[in-house]
A = this chain, B = another copy of it.
Amino acid sequence: MRIVLSNVKLMINENVYLKDPESSALGKKILNESILLIKEIGFEAFTFKKLGQRIESNESSIYRYFENKHKLLVYLTSWYWSWMEYRLVFETANLTDPKDRLNKTIALFTEETKDDESTEHINEALLQQIIISDFTKTLLTKEVDEENRNGFFVIYKRVIHRIAGIIKEVNSSYPYPDSLASTIVEGALHQHFLKQHLTSITNCSDEISPSDFYLDLINKVLN
């Protein structure tokens, strides 16, 4: 199923950016090329100076959009979860059986993503790779409580709550729906990472996907 996103603007918390990057050509270039550059050299080595060189623009111009690279990463991850939320709502809309809805949901959040061609300035497949390697780092900081208060993670939290809600529809007496949802979403990212880099401690491979593992898991846990 192809999603039409052309007319939808994903809303990202305003505290994350100084100037909305979706409001200008340079801003979109920043999003687009930062994904490529972070994927290429890793988030730790990524700097605004290097990004500036790459987009043939100035370091200081990028600073007018984002205070620092951490906030740019929070922006990109928020965009990703917002896009996933949209897909979740869209792709489960016509499913009435809670079990179908749950299986579809788990598949969506544990599968590898293909690029969605309806957004030209974001390569979703590459963005998912960045989410796998770097999303957790946006949370694991000394500033997490303050940033959480400032709404940096609202979209992610909303996504987890939606999934927890679907879990409850299937089994309303299960006592840990939020923990199960957060464990699966975060765990799926981790299994993708292990599949790519630490293959010996996962059963996921070209034949077995994280989806297989988590679909099996959730059905056993909820029945």
Which residues of A are interface residues toward B (Cβ below 8 A)? 41-42, 44-45, 133-134, 136-137, 139-142, 144-145, 148, 153, 156-157, 160-161, 164, 175-183, 186-187, 190-191, 193-194, 197-198, 200-204, 208, 210, 212-213, 216-217, 220-221
Contact indicator A217/B221 (Cβ below 8 Å) = yes
**Oligomer copy total:** 2
- Complex CA distance for A187 and B190, rounded to whole angstroms: 9
What residues of chain B lie closer than 8 Å to A181, measured between beta carbons?
Answer: 201
- Complex CA distance for A176 and B211, rounded to whole angstroms: 12
What residues of chain B lie closer than 8 Å to A201, measured between beta carbons?
Answer: 156-157, 160-161, 164, 178, 181-182
Q: Is the interface of A mostly helix, strand, loop or mixed?
A: helix
- Complex CA distance for A217 and B220, rounded to whole angstroms: 9
Contact indicator A140/B145 (Cβ below 8 Å) = no
Contact indicator B142/A200 (Cβ below 8 Å) = no
- Complex CA distance for A126 and B201, rounded to whole angstroms: 26
What residues of chain B lie closer than 8 Å to A42, measured between beta carbons?
Answer: 141-142
Pick from B177, B178, B183, B220: contact of A220, CB below 8 A. Answer: B220
Given contacts A44-B142, A136-B140, contact A182 B202 (CB under 8 A): yes
